[in-house]
Each structure stands twice: as C-alpha cells, then as structure tokens.
Structure 1
Amino acid sequence: MTGGVERRREPLDSSPGMGGDAVVAEFAQGEAWVVVVRGEFDLNTSGALAEALGAAARARPRVVVDAAGVSFADSVFLTLLLRVHGQTDLRVAAPSPQLVRVLELTGADRVLDVRVTVEDAVVE
C-alpha cells in the first residue's frame, strides 16, 4: 500500500518499516484518547488523521498523539496538531527525531505540549 492511508481502531504493533504508508490507529487509555500515527503525513495522506483528531477533540477532554512512528510530516500535519491543540488538551507523545526537528524549526514545540512517552502524556 504505497502512499496510501490505513485506518485502524486497535493499537498497532511497533514494527518499523511502514514505508510511505500513513497509518492511524486509535484507542482509549484512561481518560485520554490515543491516536497512533505511523509513516509519512502530507496533503495526500493526512485525511484519516484529520478525521481521527477532529472526532477525538469533540469527544474527549485529552487527546494524545503517539508520534514515534512519524517518518515525514509537512505543514498539513503541523496545522492539524495546532488546530486540535486549540480544541482540546492535545499532547504529542514520543515524537520521532524528524518530527522533533519540524517542531523546533517552526517553534511549535513551545506551543504544543510535547511529552517523552505516551504513558507520561496520558496522565494528568
């Protein structure tokens, strides 16, 4: 599934090598809704993520984005995070080195609540 988007409701396994595919999985953990993202996110592959984050922001007081598997993120991905940040308590957990670089270059790391682990992001 090159360049496609797969959406799952169950947690993903943490195996590397998702390639160019964008994968979104969602699940509840305590009071938070966790959205796990893997792969490359741009204009063509961010639709499922936008849908998942929008629904989560409307339904849950805290949304955690597990971003450990993000291999590429452009301005569309960053805009989604910033938009949801304004709608709910959004926490970005375990961002990949590529995403950390994007967040630092844009200053979004000073706006968004970035946590080292998903477990840390889920708790108060």
Structure 2
Amino acid sequence: MSWNEAALSTCTSSTSGTLTLEETTVHAPYGPVVRQYEYRGAWVIAAAGDYDLGSITALRQALHTAARRYPKVVLDASAVTFADSTFLNLLILTHQMGTLRVVAPSAQVRRLCEITGVDRFLEMRQTIEEAAAS
C-alpha cells in the first residue's frame, strides 16, 4: 500500500471571533504529518516529521495547491526532523510560484538552507503571525 493510500484526511471548521479556521490534517500511521489552515489571509501549512523523496508527496501537493489559491503561503517548519534535497527543491519551487514564508525552521532545515545558500532568498520568520503580516 502506498503512503497516499494509507493517508487519512480529517477536516474541521470552526468560527471563533473574527478568525475562521479551516483545518485539514493528512497523516499516515508512520511518517510525516501535514496540517493546513487559513490564518489572517495566508494559508498555513505545518509540516512535521522526515521529508525525503519517499515521503514528500503530501507536502508537495499541499504547497502547490496553496500557492495556486492563496497570495501568501506560510510553511511552519519547526517540527521537520529531517529534510533532504527533495524538501529543499520543493521550497525553491514554491517560492518561485508565489509568496512563501518559512516559519521557525528546525535546526536541520535552517542548516540545509544555510549551506546551500537558499536562506539568502527565502523569507524566514519566527512566528506564524509575523509571517502572515509580512
């Protein structure tokens, strides 16, 4: 069974004050998790786990769909525990498609961006609120 076949998708909606939150979580019994929701006009994608050629599909689909639909995409990379050149390539392609902000990248993601020079053109922020406002 492929990762996509094993993936479970959960959608919830709630309204609290002026913020409407639509959240989608895609996860498999083993592997990375991708959560998505709208925050102040930006589409936020929170990625967690290891990302390589064999596990990037859900994140790739989420980022490409978001880049086509929203003027600003925010990637929360604080819980990414491993990322290889596949992940890095996805960041570059998403950046080229529109406005991408990377929030609180994990030490591993930050190091990958620094040694490849990608940190010079990707916009990194400390918080989701800061990324949505920029």
TM band (smaller chain): 0.7 to 0.9
Once the two structures are TM-superposed, the CA of residue 5 in structure 1 deviates from its matched residue by: 6.0
Q: Distance in 1 between matches of 2:83 and 2:129?
A: 23
Cα deviation, 1:24-68, whole Å, max 9, x if unaligned, reads 010000110000000000000000000000000000000000000
Decide whether the 8 Å contact of 2:52 with 2:85 is kept in 1.
yes
Deviant stretches of 4+, over 3 Å: 3-9
Structure with more relative contact order (C-alpha pairs < 8 Å, separation 6 or more): 1
Residues 8, 25 of structure 1: 8 Å contact kept: no
**For the residues of structure 2 that align with 1:78 and 1:7, how far apart are their CA atoms?**
25
Any stretches of 5+ residues in structure 2 without a counterpart?
12-22
Equivalent of residue 70 in structure 2, options 44, 57, 60: 60
Q: State the Cα RMSD in Å.
A: 1.9
> Partner of 2:20 in structure 1?
none
Structure 1: runs of 5+ lacking an equivalent: 13-19
| Bigger share in strand | 2
Cα displacement (A) at 1:8: 5.2
What is the alpha-carbon distance in structure 2 between the residues aligned to residue 6 and residue 101 of structure 1?
Answer: 31
- Structure number with bigger Rg: 2
Give TM-score, length-normalised by structure 2.
0.79
Relative to the length of structure 1, the TM-score reads: 0.85
